[in-house]
Amino acid sequence: MSYIRPLIAASVLIALISAQGRAQRKAEISAISYTYDFGIIPETDEGAAHTFRITNTGTAALVVGNVSASCGCTLPEWTKAPIEPGDTGEVRVSYLSKGRPGPFYKSVIVHSNAARGRLTLYIKGTVAGRKPEQPAIVYAYRAGDLRLDTKIMSYNRLYPGDKAEGTIHIKNEGSEALSIAAEKIPAHLSVECNPPELKAGEAGELSLLFHTDVVKQMGRIDAGFHLKITSKGGGQPTDCPISVKANIIDNFSELSAAAKAKAPVAEYSRSGIDFGKLAEKGGSFIPFMGGGNESESLKISNKGKSTLIIYSISCDNSDAVTVSGGKREIKPGASAAYKIVIHPKAIKAGFEAFVHVVSNDPGAPVKMIKVTAEK
């Protein structure tokens, strides 16, 4: 029986050594890189993604139980199967860039059975803002086979010395090529046809440049040019007038508070003029017809402390509405009356136009008086 004790002792020793070896076997996690820089990425529905490689550097199988993201804009996916010692797995991180322009710096945490427990990975970059979609061009006007999106180029407020650009979109909707040439151009305008010849179905544009230093006057300017449209298939050229309007006003940007306090202030007796139902013949007045007058009065008063200068008062539709009377300069506390005349023969059914007043009032250098009538 003496041999039994050594045998038992040996068995216990082997069991202890085996248990110790099993206790020392652990999974370890590491990554080839811990941060990924996307650089500049577009703002798209798909976003951008990067796959991190993780390695089990331990002696037991590595199991990734979960990967959590720092926000809902970051979506992680990972290897679900156990990763044996020495093998690699993946953690794919997607960033949803849509609606998130600008820089970003996000993290995901890898939860596993590794000795260190958690591993943090980072992504960063900048989302370039999505370019706004260009609205479809509506070619609402026609001159022969040429279509235009507008025949009127308007500049609401320009300062002396400004050079203002403008674009009119054109398109050849005919079956023959068209030659486009700008004619009767005033000195303060530059016009370029791009291209000067449009193939059938081709679109182009008219590039305008308004030179205020050439005008050398303040107020509303209404002077355009003509397009000569010639078909390569022959026939008479088509003439298309283009109207160009601008309000040239004083530059009040550097006006001091003291100067503004002493500036003129224009007050208008009305913001609109409704002539109502017009008589069939111009120049008549029919009582009890509810506003059949052919003329109305507009009073402008100066409530400021210096002289009010009326640079211009006019209606773009001068065939239908004319302005007369009044004064160019109105002293503080004084008023001036202007006669607004409507010409029924020049209008059809419902009518609407604006009288434009341009002055040296810093608070309202451009005033629009709406004129309406029915016939």
Asked whether residue 285 falls in the same domain as residue 206, the answer is: no
Residue 133 within any structural domain of the chain: no
Asked whether residue 82 falls in the same domain as residue 161, the answer is: no
Q: What is the pLDDT of residues 341-359, one digit of tens each?
A: 999 888 888 899 999 999 9
Choose among 346, 325, 351, 348: nearest CA to 272: 351
Asked whether residue 124 falls in the same domain as residue 151, the answer is: no
Residue 5 within any structural domain of the chain: no
Residue 150 within any structural domain of the chain: yes
Range of the domain at 149: 141-248
Residue 16 within any structural domain of the chain: no
Residue 9 has a pLDDT of 52
Q: Using alpha carbons, list the distances in angstroms from residue 209 to 102, 184, 187, 205.
A: 35, 15, 11, 13
Residue 21 within any structural domain of the chain: no
Among 94, 128, 162, residue at a domain's last position? 128
Query: What is the pTM for the complete model shown?
Result: 0.62
* DSSP string for residues in 216-245: ---EEEE--EEEEEEETT-SPPEEEEEEEE
Residue 364 within any structural domain of the chain: yes
Among 84, 101, 128, residue at a domain's last position? 128
Written as tens digits, the pLDDT of the chain (375 aa) is: 455 555 555 554 444 444 454 557 899 999 989 999 999 999 988 889 999 999 999 999 999 999 998 788 999 999 999 999 999 999 999 999 998 999 999 999 999 999 888 899 999 999 997 776 778 899 999 999 999 999 999 998 999 999 999 999 999 999 999 999 999 999 999 999 999 999 999 999 999 999 999 998 999 999 899 999 999 888 899 999 999 999 999 999 888 999 999 999 999 999 999 998 887 654 444 433 434 458 999 999 999 999 999 999 999 998 899 999 999 999 999 999 999 999 988 888 889 999 999 999 999 999 999 999 988
Please, are residues 229 and 190 in contact by the beta-carbon 8 Å criterion?
Answer: no
What are the residues facing 329 on neighbouring strands?
309
Asked whether residue 290 falls in the same domain as residue 241, the answer is: no
Per the structure, how many domains does the chain have?
Answer: 3
Asked whether residue 145 falls in the same domain as residue 57, the answer is: no
Asked whether residue 361 falls in the same domain as residue 261, the answer is: yes
Residue 293 has a pLDDT of 53
Asked whether residue 337 falls in the same domain as residue 267, the answer is: yes
Residue 11 has a pLDDT of 55
CATH code: domain of residue 39:
2.60.40.10
Residue 253 has a pLDDT of 86
Residue 83 has a pLDDT of 94
Please, are residues 355 and 271 in contact by the beta-carbon 8 Å criterion?
Answer: no
Residue 192 has a pLDDT of 93
Among 65, 97, 128, residue at a domain's last position? 128
Asked whether residue 295 falls in the same domain as residue 239, the answer is: no
Please, are residues 155 and 167 in contact by the beta-carbon 8 Å criterion?
Answer: no
Rounded CA gap, 97 and 133, in Å?
17
Asked whether residue 229 falls in the same domain as residue 263, the answer is: no
Residue 292 has a pLDDT of 46
Residue 286 has a pLDDT of 41
